[in-house]
Amino acid sequence: MGVAPIAERNFGKTGRRVTCVGLGGEGVLRTFGRQEDARSVIRAALDSGVGYYDSARVYSDSERYYGSVWGPAPGKRTGVFQASKSASRDFAGAMADLEQSLVRLRTDTLDLWQIHDVRTAADLAAIEGPGGALKAFVAARDAGTVRAIGVTGHHDPKILTEAVGRWPVDAVMMPVNPVEAVLGGFLTETLPAAREKGVAVIGMKVLGASHYILLKYGITASLLIRFALSQDIDVAIVGCGSVQEVQALAGTGRQPVPISANEQRRMVDVFAPYARKLAFYRGVV
């Protein structure tokens, strides 16, 4: 009897389906000079049935690592949903980033291209203003160079919610973990706003900075991934540092058993005293 496939979910209203877990662009991928280690992780994800692959123009050599695996033969990308991001706030910079991402990834199309790390009202104004990056994203989607566009943020849920409401995006990436259930905002404001528009939701920071929480309370990485998948999201991404971590991620995706409301509350209670410290990515420490 073969290994069960990783569960799939609809990716918003795009008409695409993706595996419920994906390989994050961080971990060993956000490095320089570790090509063999990175290639081993990417190949392990492929062999395990992971279909969603995250990256960003600013993630060190992440895109190059992927490109070295996909290679010039297009058949290697069959069934692979490749996402990347641009942190440029202006039209010309975003277009230059896209051109470089395509070259580095050795592809002519991205499945998802995302406006990266939107934090402030000034970011919103620059991106959507005259000569802003938003026009580049829409133009790339209209041209078919990218199939879908999105926005990411982990700093201010109100700003990210504004972006989801105001921009014609297909997806949003945001933190999804027990800390966010304590602090509110991303899960209580951004997530409902995205779902109301049919925008796909990608969960990041799934494990957070929870190493000592895991050791002290016996909350495993698998449990945290299941917590994320118990929310109304489409895919949870995790950066991996080894083949073993990839296999654990894929194993959870094959059996993404929802966590009961009572168990979720227990996890939230465990994380509550450490919430502000663990949400370092918000800049609230």
- The residue written with tokens 């905002």 in the block is 185
Domain span at residue 191? 19-280
CA distances from 140 to 85, 109, 112, 180, 238 (A): 13, 10, 11, 33, 27
Q: What is the pLDDT of residue 208?
A: 77
Q: What is the pLDDT of residue 285?
A: 45
The answer to whether residue 1 sits within a structural domain is no
The answer to whether residue 5 sits within a structural domain is no
Domain count, the chain: 1
The answer to whether residue 60 sits within a structural domain is yes
DSSP secondary structure string, 227-279?
HHHTSS-SEEEE--SSHHHHHHHHHHHHS-PPPPHHHHHHHHHHHGGGHHHHT
The answer to whether residue 8 sits within a structural domain is no
- The residue written with tokens 């580095």 in the block is 104
Q: What is the pLDDT of residue 216?
A: 75
Q: Which of 17, 24, 97 is nearest to 66 (CA)?
A: 24
Q: Would the pTM count as exceeding 0.75?
A: yes
Q: What is the pLDDT of residue 211?
A: 62
Are 199 and 171 spatial neighbours (Cβ–Cβ below 8 Å)? yes
The answer to whether residue 214 sits within a structural domain is yes
Q: What is the pLDDT of residue 76?
A: 56
Residues, the chain, total?
285
Q: What is the pLDDT of residue 284?
A: 60
Percent of residues, the chain, with pLDDT higher than 70: 94
For the chain of 285 residues, list the mean pLDDT of each consecutive stretch of 10: 88 97 96 96 96 97 96 69 98 98 94 98 98 98 98 98 98 96 97 98 88 73 95 97 96 93 94 90 75
The answer to whether residue 285 sits within a structural domain is no
**What is the domain-level CATH number for residue 112?**
3.20.20.100
